[in-house]
Amino acid sequence: MEQFAICTPEMLTQKAKALYQEEREAYKILNGWFLSREIAADQDQAQNEPHPELRAAGELEAIIEKLPIELSDNAILAGTQRDAFAASYALINPAFRVETFRGYCDPLEVYDYATPSGDVTQERIASMRARAAQSPYVKALNAVYKEYEEYTDEVAFFIE
C-alpha cells in the first residue's frame, strides 16, 4: 500500500482542524468522569467479589460496557481523554492558582465540579456524592487526611 493511499498530509491537517473546531463548540460540559464513577459504584454494589483486584476489574469492565462512546468523522485517531478528569484536577483547570491550592484533601470535592446537564441532575450528583462518602476508600482517605491535617494545610505536601 502506498504511504498516503488513505489520507494525504493535507487531508490529515484538514481533519485535525475540523476536529479541533468541533470540540471547542460541542464540549462545554464534560461529565464522563462522573458517569464512570457512578457506573463503578453501581457495579461495586452489585458484585459480591471479596478480592479488591477482581472488584476493580469488574468495575472497569462495567465502565467499558456502559460508558457512552462517540467518534467524529474528523477523528484521525480513536480516543480522547477530554473528560477523563474532573475540572478540579489542577493540570486541566483554567482557574487553578498555586497561591490558593490546598491539596487534594477532600475526596468528595470533585463532585462540586460535576455539571448538571440533561439526565445528570443536581440530585443525581448529590446522590453519588453521598454514596461515595460511605465508601471504604473515602473513609480511609479522610482518616489519613485528618491525621496529617496540620501538615497539608499549607501544602508542605499533599496526599494524592
Write phi, then psi, for 2 (nearest 5 degrees): -65, 150
* Intra-chain end-to-end CA distance of the chain, in Å: 48
pLDDT over threshold 50, residue 134 = yes
Report CA 67 to chain centroid distance, whole Å: 12
Q: For 28-48, write each residue's pLDDT tens digit.
A: 777 888 999 999 999 999 999
Task: State residue 3's pLDDT score.
Answer: 56
> Which residues neighbour 84 within 8 Å (Cβ) at sequence distance 6 or greater?
32, 33
Nearest to 36 by CA among 2, 81, 3: 81
Separation between Cα atoms, residue 109 and residue 104, nearest integer Å: 8
Task: State residue 2's pLDDT score.
Answer: 61
pTM greater than 0.75: no
Tell the residue number behind the cell numbers 452489585, with chain if given: 46
In this structure, the number of other CB atoms found within 10 A of the CB of residue 43 comes to 20
Tell the residue number behind the cell numbers 467518534, with chain if given: 71
Q: Which residue has the higher pLDDT, 5 or 9?
A: 9
